[in-house]
């Protein structure tokens, strides 16, 4: 079985919200039991906070503590990793920390250093609400001054800028000053499915030119006009378009597991073999697929 690197899941948030189940076994998409079935899996566990609920920093700290608890409980099976080398050399599953919604900083850029000390490697500037840094995908307006400052501080702390959820103007503002690769951890192609959360061809090319990657999102409404069903067939269309526009080096996985609902044809990591086979049948080479499954993401994390 091939190693897997998934650039986005919301599992820690889901476990904390439901206050039932654990990383070893639960009713969601991601568990160690399912990871074991798939082989060696490294997943970006997002510290997701809905800024409209307030107390963002406190909420982020709570999720971080839950993450640490799950790592401690399951240390024989999974370990927090921060670098590509740590992913490659560990015999256990890998857990990378990410942030979804930088409003957790509550205007205090010095907290980016704290996130770095936790091992956070990528962070979205926005989620679905306007915040101190900019505007989400469905609104207009470029990055705010704090957004530009945050990017500089993130890169100084070796945290990659994740442009998923960011709007178009904010995206190009971020691209204009980012010195390191951009990541769209869980986004698809707007040309294939016209959704504001998806990337235009121009955006895909910018990410590719900067050496970044786009994680294929399994969310039904980003994959097709059928907002309740996520199919392998639709995934293939988006992956093929990503490759056509950005080249094979831009391909990655960003399932959005435990952050999506509906009829998901690949509900757990062990089902990714179906996508591999479908992409292979459509003309993807072993090199393309190995890049999409793990090596492109590891390149960016190096």
pLDDT in tens, the chain (302 residues): 899 999 999 999 999 998 778 999 999 999 999 999 999 999 999 999 999 998 999 999 999 999 999 999 999 999 999 999 999 999 999 999 999 999 999 999 999 999 999 999 999 999 999 999 999 999 999 999 999 999 999 999 999 999 999 999 999 999 999 999 999 999 999 999 999 999 999 999 999 999 999 999 999 999 999 999 999 999 999 999 999 999 999 999 999 999 999 999 999 999 999 999 999 999 999 999 999 999 999 999 99
The answer to whether 10 and 25 are in contact (CB under 8 A) is no
First to last CA, the chain: 23
**Structure tokens belonging to residue 233:** 């067939």
CA 5 to chain centroid, in Å, comes to: 10
Instruction: Look at the pTM and tell me if it is higher than 0.75.
Output: yes
Residue with tokens 């927090």: 80
Homologous superfamily (CATH) of 4-99+182-301 is Metal-dependent hydrolases (3.20.20.140)
Angle of helix 168-177 versus helix 145-156 axis, rounded to 10: 50
What distance in Å separates the CA atoms of residue 111 and residue 125, rounded to the nearest whole number? 14
Distances (CA, A) of 230 to 189, 217, 262, 289, 293: 15, 10, 7, 20, 19
SS3 58: helix
Helices (H), 224-284: 232-246, 272-281
Indicate the SS3 state at residue 35: helix
Strands, E assignment, the chain: 4-9, 41-48, 78-80, 93-100, 120-124, 160-162, 183-184, 213-216, 229-230, 251-253, 263-264
């Amino acid at each position: 079985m091939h190693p897997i690197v998934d650039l986005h899941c919301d599992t820690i948030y889901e476990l904390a919200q439901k206050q039932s189940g654990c990383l070893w076994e639960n009713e969601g998409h991601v568990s160690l039991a399912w990871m074991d079935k798939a082989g060696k899996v490294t997943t970006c566990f997002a510290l997701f906070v809905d800024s409209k609920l307030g107390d963002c920093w406190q909420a982020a700290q709570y999720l971080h503590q839950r993450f640490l608890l799950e790592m401690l409980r399951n240390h024989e099976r999974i370990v927090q990793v921060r670098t590509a080398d740590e992913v490659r050399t560990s015999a256990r599953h890998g857990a990378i920390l990410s942030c979804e919604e930088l409003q957790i900083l509550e205007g205090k850029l010095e907290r980016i250093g704290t996130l770095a000390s936790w091992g956070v490697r990528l962070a979205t500037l926005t989620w679905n609400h306007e915040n101190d840094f900019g505007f989400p995908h469905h609104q207009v307006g470029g990055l705010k001054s704090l957004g530009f400052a945050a990017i500089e501080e993130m890169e100084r702390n070796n945290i990659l800028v994740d442009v998923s959820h960011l709007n178009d103007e904010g995206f190009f503002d971020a691209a204009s000053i980012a010195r390191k690769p951009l990541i769209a951890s869980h986004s698809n192609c707007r040309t294939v499915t016209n959704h504001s959360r998806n990337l235009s061809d121009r955006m895909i090319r910018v990410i590719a030119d900067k050496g970044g990657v786009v994680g294929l999102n399994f969310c039904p409404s980003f994959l097709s006009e059928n907002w309740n069903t996520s199919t392998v067939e639709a995934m293939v269309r988006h992956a093929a378009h990503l490759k056509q526009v950005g080249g094979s080096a831009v391909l990655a996985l960003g399932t959005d597991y435990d952050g999506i609902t509906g009829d998901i044809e690949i509900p757990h990591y062990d089902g990714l073999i179906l996508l591999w086979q479908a992409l292979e049948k459509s003309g993807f080479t072993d090199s393309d697929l190995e890049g999409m499954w793990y090596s492109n993401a590891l390149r960016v994390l190096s």
